[in-house]
Amino acid sequence: MNRRSFLGLMMAGAGVSALSTPAHALVEININKGNVEPLPIAITDFVSNNELGAQISQVVAADLQRSGLFAPVNRAAFIEKITDPSKAPRFEDWKAINAQALVVGRVSREGDGRLRAEFRLWDTYAGSQMTGQQFFTQPENWRRLAHIIADAIYERITGEKGYFDTRVVFVSESGPKTARQRQLAIMDQDGFNVRTLTSGKDLVLTPRFSPNRQEVTYMSFEGNQPRVYLLQLETGQREVVGNFPGMTFSPRFSPDGQKVIMSLQQEGNANIYTMDLRSRTTTRLTSTAAIDTAPSYAPDGARIAFESDRGGKQQIYVMGADGSGQQRISFGDGSYSTPVWSPRGDLIAFTKQSGGKFSIGVMKPDGSGERILTSGFHNEGPTWAPNGRVLMFFRQNAGAGGPQLYSIDLTGYNELQVKTPAYGSDPAWSPLLE
Amino acid sequence: MSRIDTPAMSRMQTLARNPAVIALTLALALAGCANKKNLPNSAGDLGLNGAGSATPGSTQDFTVNVGDRIFFDTDSTSVRADAQQTLDRQAQWLQRYPKYAITIEGHADERGTREYNLALGARRAASTKEYLASRGIPASRMKTISYGKERPVAVCDDISCWSQNRRAVTVLGGAGM
């Protein structure tokens, strides 16, 4: 499925972008340099005859600012007022306020009710257009439209895919700790458009997206039988995954979407199994008198990271997709759990317990290069943004209250709360649709 | 059982949001006292005032006079000596009242990750089941379920609460029956 046609959003590629001159860009951000200085960028209100123009530019600015790579220039400092975004701006006015990049745009209503939106990204020092695109969509998709524009700007300037037009499934929690209600919920990555997916009657945990973003696999205690389920997001249809003789938990999709990998509990032991969603055949991958759980595939599907206490404490192991060559990779102080393989394949994120603290960190798939990104009373359950640059996780502070969602980039400097209406845990970031 | 015979007032107030939990905690605290022989008249008084009229063979009788839960050490699933005494009483009682099937609910404290704690709770339920089986309770009468760290009974940020949450609770005719 095409990313642009998903939810009926159309891009007219030949439109504005044909006007752009492929100039050498002075403006660029090299993410690989580590703690980069955010790029000053002016994001003007899109020209429009209602408030939507300002709203779209605010969502674009918020996305770019939260990435930590951009510093939107205070709009009170703007000198030029953009009235016609198809004309070249007065670059001197923007250089004067140190805006190295400039975003202008227009949004209007078509005769058939659709929104028409266009934007241009200017390099103010080179005096050239870096990109320009035009979109048509239903009015209710305006936030999504803004995220797609932010992605285009991010990609043009950093050379990396953006992650703003994505969603997050998570567990929405409410009520006191001793009687906590938990519901599956889905939202945009910036915390907007929250929608609950289950009633709250049954305890639900660990939702994970399918690669095509259409399904979620999760664990539910429905009927006091804790098992792994599959939920179709569009239809709300649910089904149990497999017919296992015990609790199944900690599910995740294979990168091709054809399998669900999970743990099966039998008496005191948990082992890892896959179920092929087409043939319904199950395959056992681990066979230990231990707790083997939290499996996560490498993006190429060839290897699987998981946690096991077979050596005493929980540690991270890696094995082949057929269960071969199981090898421990975590050797630091404390215990390691919830390994999640980066979509880029270069890192494995984890939860680490050490010295009474819970940390989120990353290591290379061979276990080297461990880096702790954040540490505190309780941080748990990282999930990767689809470009592999940002992690989301949940944090429970000491004292009353419940868990909250946070994001942090790989530098560890840009940590932000993702505000949700209720408490939130177990976030899982959606992939991008290409 | 002796581990929760004097719950702190602050915790009791926290728990008071859930009447069922506080009633149970009180009942257990009283039952704990009842075992201490040096308290004069305690057993008789409690039979009347604390536990009410716990009909022999009733759920209340099991919860109050036998003790429905055992506790575990951090990250451990082995049945401690004090827990063995509780389970011995449970086994005797269950043999006297064979009409009951049971569900053993395994729980973990919050100082672990979610997936691991689900398995840890299952392991605790399994070791409890194994112990009861060794005391003559047929496996066909017993089911297990794990709630991981998702169903704490005590809420605070230190060991006094965590130790109460690392537990296996024997529920008569419980989940799934």
Q: What domains appear along chain A, each with residue ranges and CATH number?
A: 6-158 (3.40.50.10070), 167-429 (2.120.10.30)
Residue A5 pLDDT exceeds 90: no
pLDDT band, very low/low/confident/very high, at A33 (cuts 50, 70, 90): low
CB contact under 8 A, A225 and B176: yes
Which of A236, A238, A196 shows the shortest CA–CA distance to A219?
A238
Residue B157 pLDDT exceeds 70: yes
Residue B175 pLDDT exceeds 80: no
Asked if the C-beta of B3 comes within 8 angstroms of chain A's C-beta atoms, the answer is no
B109, B115, B127: best to mutate for the A interface, most A CBs within 10 A:
B115
In three state form, how does the secondary structure of B66-107 look? HHCEEECCCCCCCCCHHHHHHHHHHHHHHHHCCCCCEEEEEE
Structure confidence at residue A355 (pLDDT):
94
Structure confidence at residue B51 (pLDDT):
46
Residue A17 pLDDT exceeds 70: no
Domain with residue B126: its CATH number is 3.30.1330.60
Q: What is the DSSP letter of A134?
A: E
Dihedrals φ, ψ of A379, to 5°?
A: -120, 140
* CA–CA separation, B17 and A173 (whole Å): 17
Dihedrals φ, ψ of B91, to 5°?
A: -65, -45
Strand partners, A253: A260
Nearest CA in chain A to B129: A267
Residues 57-96 of A with CB under 8 A from B: none
Asked if the C-beta of A289 comes within 8 angstroms of chain B's C-beta atoms, the answer is no
Residue A364 pLDDT exceeds 90: yes
Residue A403 pLDDT exceeds 70: yes
Which of A347, A343, A297 shows the shortest CA–CA distance to A322?
A297
Structure confidence at residue A93 (pLDDT):
97
Average pLDDT, integer, range A381-404: 94
Mean pLDDT (chain B, rounded): 76
Q: Of A2-16, A248-262, B160-174, which has the strongest mean pLDDT? A: A248-262
Average pLDDT, integer, range A248-259: 98
Nearest CA in chain B to A425: B114
Average pLDDT, integer, range A380-386: 98
- The Cα of A176 is separated from the nearest Cα of chain B by a number of Å equal to 8
Residue B92 included in any domain: yes
Structure confidence at residue A375 (pLDDT):
97
Structure confidence at residue B43 (pLDDT):
35
Residues B142 and B102: beta-carbon distance below 8 Å? yes
Choice between B11 and A399, residue whose per-residue pLDDT is larger: A399
Kindly calculate the radius of gyration of chain A based on its CA atoms and give it in whole angstroms: 23
B12, B18, B114: best to mutate for the A interface, most A CBs within 10 A:
B114
Nearest CA in chain A to B176: A224
Which of A418, A365, A355 shows the shortest CA–CA distance to A388?
A365
Structure confidence at residue B158 (pLDDT):
85
CB contact under 8 A, B150 and A180: yes
CB contact under 8 A, A353 and B112: yes
Least confident range from A33-37, A50-54, A181-185, B54-58: namely A33-37
Residues on chain A touching B149 (C-beta within 8 angstroms): none
Tokens linked to B8: 């702190």
Helix segments in A112-226, DSSP class H = 142-158
Which residue of A178, A267, A400 is in closest CB contact with B126? A267
Total count of domains within chain B: 1
DSSP state letters, A235-304: T--EEE-S--SS-EEEEEE-TTSSEEEEEEEETTEEEEEEEETTT--EEE----SSBEEEEEE-TTSSEE
CB contact under 8 A, A223 and B176: yes
Structure confidence at residue A37 (pLDDT):
86
Average pLDDT, integer, range B35-59: 52
Residue B8 included in any domain: yes
Structure confidence at residue A1 (pLDDT):
32
A to B CB pairs, distance under 8 Å: 98
Residue B153 pLDDT exceeds 90: yes
Model ipTM value: 0.91
Share in percent of chain A as helix, strand, coil (round to 5): 15, 40, 45
Least confident range from A162-166, A334-338, A398-402, B112-116: namely A398-402
Mean pLDDT (chain A, rounded): 92
Structure confidence at residue B160 (pLDDT):
87
Residue A242 pLDDT exceeds 70: yes
Residue A21 pLDDT exceeds 80: no
Residue B9 included in any domain: yes
CB contact under 8 A, A270 and B122: yes
Structure confidence at residue A32 (pLDDT):
63
Amino acid at A92: E
pLDDT band, very low/low/confident/very high, at A31 (cuts 50, 70, 90): low
Structure confidence at residue A62 (pLDDT):
97
Residues A347 and A363: beta-carbon distance below 8 Å? yes
CB contact under 8 A, B146 and A179: no
Which residue of B150, B153, B176 is in closest CB contact with A224? B176
Residue B35 included in any domain: yes
Structure confidence at residue B18 (pLDDT):
41
pLDDT band, very low/low/confident/very high, at B113 (cuts 50, 70, 90): very high
Residue spans of beta strands (DSSP E) within B35-153:
69-71, 102-107, 142-148
Nearest CA in chain B to A351: B113
pLDDT tens figures, B120-145: 999 999 999 999 999 999 999 999 99
Dihedrals φ, ψ of A7, to 5°?
A: 65, 20
Cα–chain center distance at B104 = 10
- The Cα of B49 is separated from the nearest Cα of chain A by a number of Å equal to 27
Let me know if B83 is exposed, middle or buried by CB neighbors in 10 A (0-12, 13-18, 19+).
Answer: buried
Residue B154 included in any domain: yes
CB contact under 8 A, A226 and B146: yes
For B77, the domain range is: 2-172
A174, A178, A262, A378: best to mutate for the B interface, most B CBs within 10 A:
A178
pLDDT tens figures, A151-171: 999 999 999 999 999 999 999
Structure confidence at residue A158 (pLDDT):
94
Residue A227 pLDDT exceeds 70: yes
Residue B177 included in any domain: no
Residue B102 included in any domain: yes
A182, A252, A267: best to mutate for the B interface, most B CBs within 10 A:
A267
Residue B134 included in any domain: yes
